[in-house]
Chain A
């Protein structure tokens, strides 16, 4: 079966993020970039399916700047077969979903696996939008995925408020990966060597003929307010008094 997996280039979650003084975005100097961790889980899941289902193909897709090649190469080194990079600047979630829908028309995958969200803007929107645009069933926040023996349907366990929910639906479909779906492998050294020779196709977004005019624009970014220093009180009486009169919580 053919599986399409998204790979977004995002700042390393360990990096400390600074907002630009003019509020137009974040400072990108000296930031380490990685594969969105939820997408990495998606790549791992696709590779596990490929290992079970003979003749499967795992195709990676990224949308963004040319440097996103690095993240695609990482996915190829993990074991994906080929990659597509759509060159585009700052699309909003609907724009991303439309680009992906167009690629799905061309590639005709049996399954799309995406991270449930990218850890940069945490929109958590593209998977759902893409399923809607394609008219495909969706299983979001997957913590377990099981395919039927004939790979015609999927059973997805989702982490929802208050417990686990299991959905079954026919394929093709869209699945978004949650944290506990799996633990991604390291790219092996021979895998890294082979990645260089695998196909990585670049497509300018204009060539796709998709309307990517943003519906959402970012007007301003600001860091969360810094926490103020605490206060040390001398007695329980004083504490109760302050909680009542100052904090007004009791």
Chain B
């Protein structure tokens, strides 16, 4: 793929119109008020038929899985068909367009229908998928994916303190989770913890449970204050002797390979970050070019100064690189594969750093205006920083790339 298809351009135009009509005028409220972003996400889902499309895809997949179950095999992914490039773009283009104004909305949406639903889809039984994943995929319900703890972020598995203890046929869950996107409002929570069976902490199995809002012993905090991404509510979760039946254990067996599923989620999450970065970079570049043309200093537009030109040129280089990364990702999704973790890490590392650098340059180019909230680059700059931290810090991406290089 070397350029956007006609279908991609139509999706982009439709999505851009939606963002400019529904999000841009409400940006102040989404970013600085306490309105959660879920109503506007739902409006997007119904306006574009994304809910119905998600339901149809889900039903096809479940039908395939049921057929495979009968034959005693594993469901195969569909073969690549004509039009798959268009469909693959359909997943990434809305992310790009939304991030031009509101990376927070993408985070809230991505965690719910991406991470949370995907965790259930990759490890759950058919019954669990129908009960919990489908309403997340159609955005009827809001999901949260709870892995990070006060004492463990990048070292999520090693430092994890949350526990599940066997209790008759079910389990008792305990632990604190933090920095949980959608935590304050989530209806469905995927909770990752270790099985406390008396063995050494490092030998314990990872288990994943699905919790519903309002269960006895589960508390969801109010939104936390943070540097950016204000339109994405982040919170803490407190579990105090939460009793669950086995039907809430993903896969309904202690032997499901928890870590493998989690790594697949990481890989997908990292791919999404590249699309987010492209949206931020496109917007910063566009705003900066306009500003460089119209802002006059020393009697001429600042775009005529070479130091400003250097910033604009760097922004364009970043935009082109990110777009090429996205083209590759669309190709990979269309071919039914996914990026391996090291490549996803490399893309994510570059994308996050490029977005941060471009957003900082945009603030600098705008000067005093850039530091003011009235000009959008200020928000995009605060929002961009998170791309270097969540979904694996830059440092973790670097170590994963290096480890993969040195392994051979």
Contacts and interface: CB of A to CB of B under 8 A. Distances in A.
A190 B10 contact: no
Nearest to A76: B10
B83 interface: yes
Interface of B: 6-7, 10-11, 13-14, 17-18, 47-50, 52-53, 56, 83, 86-87, 90
Interface string A47-73: 000000000000000000000001001
Given A73-B6, A73-B10, A195-B10, A189 B83 contact: no
A190 B52 contact: yes
Interface in A182-204: 185-193, 195-196
Contact of B11 (A70, A185, A192): A192
Given A187-B14, A195-B10, 4 more contacts: A70-B6, A186-B18, A189-B90, A190-B49
A189 B7 CA distance: 9
A234 B52 CA distance: 66
A181 interface: no
B250 to A, nearest CB: 29
A189 B11 contact: yes
Task: Kindly name the residue among B10, B18, B52, B56 whose own CB sees the greatest number of chain A CB atoms within 10 A.
Answer: B10
B49 A188 contact: yes
B190 to A, nearest CB: 26
B375 to A, nearest CB: 20
Contacts of B7: 192-193, 196
Contacts of B13: 74
Nearest to A74: B10
Task: Kindly name the residue among B13, B18, B56, B87 whose own CB sees the greatest number of chain A CB atoms within 10 A.
Answer: B13
A189 B89 CA distance: 11
B22 to A, nearest CB: 10
Given A193-B83, A196-B83, A187 B18 contact: no
A190 B14 contact: no
A189 B6 contact: no
A195 B86 CA distance: 12
Contacts of B10: 73-74, 77, 187, 192, 195
Contacts of B48: 186-189
Main secondary structure of the interface of A (DSSP, over half): helix
A74 B11 CA distance: 10
A186 B83 contact: no
Nearest to B5: A196
15 contacts: A74-B10, A185-B47, A186-B18, A186-B47, A188-B47, A188-B49, A188-B53, A189-B14, A189-B90, A190-B49, A192-B14, A193-B7, A193-B83, A193-B87, A196-B86
Task: Kindly name the residue among A185, A187, A192 whose own CB sees the greatest number of chain B CB atoms within 10 A.
Answer: A192
Contacts of B17: 186
Given A77-B10, A195-B10, A196-B83, A189 B18 contact: no
Contact of B14 (A70, A186, A196): A186
A76 to B, nearest CB: 10
Contacts of A185: 47
A189 B10 CA distance: 9
Contacts of A77: 10, 14
Task: Kindly name the residue among A186, A188, A196 whose own CB sees the greatest number of chain B CB atoms within 10 A.
Answer: A186
B20 to A, nearest CB: 9
Contacts of A187: 10, 14, 48
A172 B17 CA distance: 34
A22 B316 CA distance: 34
B10 to A, nearest CB: 5
A118 to B, nearest CB: 19
A168 B86 CA distance: 45
Contacts of A186: 14, 17-18, 47-48
Contacts of A74: 10, 13
Nearest to B10: A192
A195 B56 CA distance: 18
A187 B52 CA distance: 14
B95 to A, nearest CB: 13
Task: Kindly name the residue among B47, B49, B52, B87 whose own CB sees the greatest number of chain A CB atoms within 10 A.
Answer: B49
A70 B10 CA distance: 8
A191 B48 CA distance: 8
A25 B90 CA distance: 37
Task: Kindly name the residue among A70, A73, A196 whose own CB sees the greatest number of chain B CB atoms within 10 A.
Answer: A196
A196 to B, nearest CB: 6
A199 B16 CA distance: 26
Contacts of A73: 6, 10
